[in-house]
Amino acid sequence: MPESETPDRQTAGQTAVPRHVAIIMDGNGRWAKKRHLPRHAGHKAGVGAVRMAVERCARAGVEVLTLFAFSSENWRRPKQEVGLLMELFMTALHREVRRLTSNDVRLRVIGDRTALPEKLQSRIARVEALTEANSGLVLQIAANYGGRWDLAQAARRLSARVLAGELRPEDIDEPNLAAELSFADLPDPDLFIRTGGELRLSNFLLWQAAYSELYFTDCLWPDFDQAQLQAAFDAFAHRERRFGKIGEQLSADTSEVGGG
């Protein structure tokens, strides 16, 4: 792989704490079913695991946590479940805002928010504004998000720049496509966790996860606790990230910069 293709915000080698953690929070429905409860009870219980993940990541020095709360495809679920999920997001935003601020967390929502209920859109905008100056963890909630949607909207924006005469088609390259994607200003995910036992990316962060370390666990999201998160961090700390290089080059890179 040519040097120029190496992700620019990431250097080869490994640090113990990932800068960016992305999570597919799967298994809420099965958690509820095991307890003979309605699916919604699983989503409600999932809010506790969200709170834990935010607080632990903030304390561990993670810079960005991105949670897949609602995919572009989740609209296909029964209408009642979709409605209850939207209500749950409304309530969680209302209830958690103080806790976000006391943990110095900045909230951002990624995805096509125009399709969300208007009340939810304005609450999101309010919480984003209220937490904007917080300088700790950036918490990104993916709502009505899909990796393919993200790529399509980036392509749309690039073609608008071409039409405006700002860019020639032959100048379209990886960096200027990447610059139009969601959270272009933040590092790509280092660690990509999926709970609930499925081994798929499910259209989450398709471009941005190109070099992420993948971690799959059977644990259902509401049961994902501090120990489970720590196990994912520990697994990450033992991975060798090569970004296309070979292991010997990585040792040479680290000795050049003084070891570590």
Q: Is 67 left (phi over 0), alpha (psi -120 to 50) or beta?
A: beta
| Closest separation in Å from C-beta 222 to ligand FPP | 8
| Closest separation in Å from C-beta 205 to ligand FPP | 16
Dist. CA 171–CA 116, nearest whole Å: 35
| Closest separation in Å from C-beta 116 to ligand FPP | 13
Q: Which of 8, 28, 74, 223 is catalytic?
A: 74
Cβ distance to ligand FPP smaller for residue 97 or 186: 97
The DSSP string of 109-123 is: EES-GGGS-HHHHHH
Burial class of residue 191 in the structure, from the number of CB atoms within 10 Å of its CB (0-12 exposed, 13-18 middle, 19+ buried): buried
Residues 191, 21: contact at Cβ < 8 Å?
yes
| Closest separation in Å from C-beta 25 to ligand FPP | 4
Burial letters for 213-249: b for 16+ Cβ neighbours within 10 Å, e otherwise? bebbbebbbbbbeeebbeebbeebeeeebebebeeee
Cβ distance to ligand FPP smaller for residue 12 or 209: 209
| Closest separation in Å from C-beta 77 to ligand FPP | 8
Cβ distance to ligand FPP smaller for residue 43 or 241: 43
Residue 74 is a catalytic residue? yes
Cβ distance to ligand FPP smaller for residue 146 or 196: 196
Dist. CA 71–CA 26, nearest whole Å: 12
Cβ distance to ligand FPP smaller for residue 9 or 79: 79
Burial class of residue 68 in the structure, from the number of CB atoms within 10 Å of its CB (0-12 exposed, 13-18 middle, 19+ buried): buried
Enumerate binding residues for ligand FPP (CB under 6 A).
25-30, 43, 46-47, 50, 67, 69, 74, 88-89, 92, 141, 196, 221
Residue 203 is a catalytic residue? no
List active site positions: 26, 74
